[in-house]
Chain A
Amino acid sequence: MGLTAVNRKARLPDLSRVPAVDEVGVNERVARFQSRSIKKAAKVDALKLILSMIDLTTLEGQDTPGKVQQLCQKAIHLHDAMPGLPHVAAVCVYPTMVATAKEALSGHDINIASVATAFPSGMSTLSVKLDDTRMAVKAGATEIDMVISRGAFLSGDYRFVFDEIVAVKEACGDAHLKVILETGELGTLDRVRKASMLAMYAGADFIKTSTGKIQPAATMQVTLVMLQAIRDYYYETGRMVGMKPAGGISTSKLAIHYLVMLHETLGNAWMTPEWFRFGASSLANDVLMQLMKQSTGVYQSPDYFSKD
């Protein structure tokens, strides 16, 4: 593969200059975010914002066009009983389901995200990963969620991981690239921070915590470290990069804590679906239930909220 203007410009950063991370301090900071009290109008605004930031996801071996169509209907009709709700940011599916999603979402302003690059393990050759990416883009994906090669990263071959991201970014064309670090396999917050910087310098539009297939998936701790890396990268380059925690965020309360963390770490500019996403399959209904509670004063039965 010949080098293009894009990947010749990308330079592997000096990862030894990435600041260390102290886990105890990170835990303390996270506890502070969790002790914020978000009430009334601030809560309603937060809940609506959360809905608009959701990447409604189905990533299962048993996925079928039927299942994906149903998910897309949910994306379009979150809860029609409540007018004025935003729609979710995207649906997130496997590459073979992109065409189905595109058809189901036609005429709606909802992005189609596709995982690619031999998701979730990433254990394949670069050419297979690039084909996977191109196929998803060609089928209509507007966003690509790639995985990094954790094995190579853990063995210290940062150059390999970097070049792979650069190549996938190029294969994405106009599609936005989210780079999944799979933090549950990286093991330490120091590595999370280094991997974040590496991914951003390689051209990531978003960095994302997890595939959802490995435990632990997203935690506030890793998300904070990644947000701080985004801030450092922004300080250094002036380029904004988005953040997507994925997996394990299923309640409104937790999602609001993530918003508080985003708000106090990166500020207002990032408080939009353009720069922050939740990768989640069951979060939306809990948010809807809380929104109904805020407007009616009572909790409604889960049976009133559609499950797709």
Chain B
Amino acid sequence: MATPENKLAFDGGWGYAPAPESTDHIQVKKRYGLFINGEFVAPEKGSYFDTVNPATEEKLSRIADAGDADVDKAVAAAREAYRTTWGRMKPAERGKYIYRIARIIQERAREFSVIESLDGGKPIRESRDVDVPLAAAHFFYYAGWADKLQFAFPGRTAKPLGVAGQVIPWNFPLLMAAWKIAPALACGNTVVLKPAETTPLTALKLAEVCRDAGLPPGVVNIVTGAGATGAAIINHPGVDKVAFTGSTNVGRIIQKALAGTNKKYTLELGGKAANIVFADAAIDQAVEGIVNGIFFNQGHVCCAGSRLFVQESVADEVVSKLKDRMETLIVGDPLDKNTDIGAINSRMQLEKIESYLKIGKSEGGEMHQSACRVPKKGYWCRPTIFTGVSQSNRVVQEEIFGPVLAIQTFRRFDEAITKANNTPYGLSGGIWTDKGSKIFKMTQSVRAGVIWANTFNKFDPTSPFGGYKESGVGREGGLHGLDAYVKLGV
């Protein structure tokens, strides 16, 4: 075990020179209107809000704030497109458009990655290697289903629902747009989508892609704004289907609002995933998995492995290795290719995370942060772990949505499972062991939509994703993701 005398030293010495990704090649307009019926239009009331770079607090662009009248226009355009073009189009033709969108995203991957990192604060390594390629992959995957729905639902007919109203969060702005738009279009629906107010840029760039792909006007409409705009979309009588990703609190409000309506809905909400490390695990790879589970995307991940359970016999070893590993994480400029952890998405989110750090300490938890320096301007949070906490503490119970890990120990398998399930959430989970039987036993006993074994935070368009309990309703991705966008008949 590491003692103070034989600790590794990671500070000073050889360091990596700055390697910033260039921003010369991107095009961000000073002001963006709403993308309705195939063109950018000014909002009826003429109000705009700023979107800022969370790493520098500098303004990137002015974004239209859509009111009820704008949402009306967008829903009407979507309805018209559904009625006249998209809903009647041959499925194979629909597929061609979706393939085209996928290809254009690939072609403009570099621009999308840089803008995603500028607007959202995530490291360029992640937007370049995860967000953008996965977004393209979702369009490719669902393009393939467009003319094969009869095989997705054998013996039944799958009809589109009509207009889908979609509201997405700020943690994976482009990727969430892809998750929502791709299956909706493949099934023959049209879309009104609202990106999060702190990260609207890549959705607006995606609107440009739709236009450049020659998608008929009104098939995809992007309306920007805050919560009120989202509520207007969800409550709009012209919307047939609601898809929401965001917090459990807002999810509850939406579910109440939709009760008694004929709208179909999927909700992808919060999480507080258990990541369980058994003594027989490959410890060093488990440590990597813990890091990836909680520090990926600054911990702004609904399925983050934010509750770590380590078997007591290896707990000291795991925690000490984790602390050493945290020292090697590079926190800073999201555009630097070597950055591991970027900026917290917004001041509001940073304040929320910091309030949880206070709560954790006041509850008696022992807080440890890496020693890295963070820039003066911008919103930053060092990678943080809490030890000495328990299921009774708020930092263990509540979703923090930041780079903050709560670590607990356990002795026996059933104890780990009981604690893993002891949460209102049920989105994801992880298990680390060298023993296959333990993996199967765990996947059967943990109530969560995704369980990763000896890995974490792996996504693929072919795989369904969604929660149990208060983590949501319905599934997105894969074959299951089609179900949310069709009406099945015989």
Contact = CB atoms under 8 A, between A and B. Distances in A.
Contact of B9 (A25, A41, A43, A267): A267
B434 interface: yes
Nearest to B16: A42
Nearest to A268: B13
A234 B125 CA distance: 32
Interface residues of A, number: 36
Interface stretch (B42-50, B280-288, B467-475, B480-488): B280-288
Interface in B5-59: 5-6, 8-19
A42 B17 contact: yes
Given A20-B434, A25-B282, A29-B288, A269 B17 contact: no
B9 A20 contact: no
A22 B11 CA distance: 28
A25 B16 contact: no
A21 B14 contact: no
B14 A49 contact: yes
Contacts of B15: 42
B284 A21 contact: yes
Contacts of B166: none
Interface residues on B, range: 35 or more
Interface string A249-271: 00000000001000110111101
A268 B17 contact: no
A35 B18 CA distance: 14
Interface string B273-298: 00000001111111011000000000
B337 to A, nearest CB: 4
B14 A271 contact: yes
Contacts of B13: 263, 267-268, 271
B14 A20 contact: no
Contacts of A49: 14
Contacts of A228: 284
B1 interface: yes
A25 B292 CA distance: 11
A263 B454 CA distance: 25
Contacts of B1: 235-236
A197 to B, nearest CB: 13
A235 B284 CA distance: 14
A19 interface: yes
A20 B125 CA distance: 29
A37 B12 contact: no
A271 B5 CA distance: 19
B328 interface: yes
Interface string A34-46: 0111111111011
A146 B321 CA distance: 31
A25 B129 contact: no
A20 B18 CA distance: 36
Chain B CB within 10 Å, residue with most, of A19, A42, A228, A237: A19
A237 B454 CA distance: 29
A28 interface: yes
Nearest to B124: A37
B403 to A, nearest CB: 17
Interface string A261-292: 00110111101000000000000000000000
B248 interface: no
A238 B6 contact: yes
Contacts of B171: none
Given A19-B283, A267-B10, A38 B434 contact: no
Nearest to A227: B284
A235 B320 contact: yes
Among the interface residues A235, A237, A264, A269, which one has the most CB atoms of the partner chain B within 10 A?
A235
A35 B125 CA distance: 8
Q: A-B pairs with the 5 shortest C-beta distances?
A: A25-B285, A268-B13, A22-B282, A37-B19, A42-B17
Given A24-B455, A238-B5, A271-B13, 12 more contacts: A20-B281, A24-B285, A29-B285, A36-B16, A36-B337, A38-B16, A38-B17, A41-B17, A46-B14, A263-B10, A263-B14, A268-B10
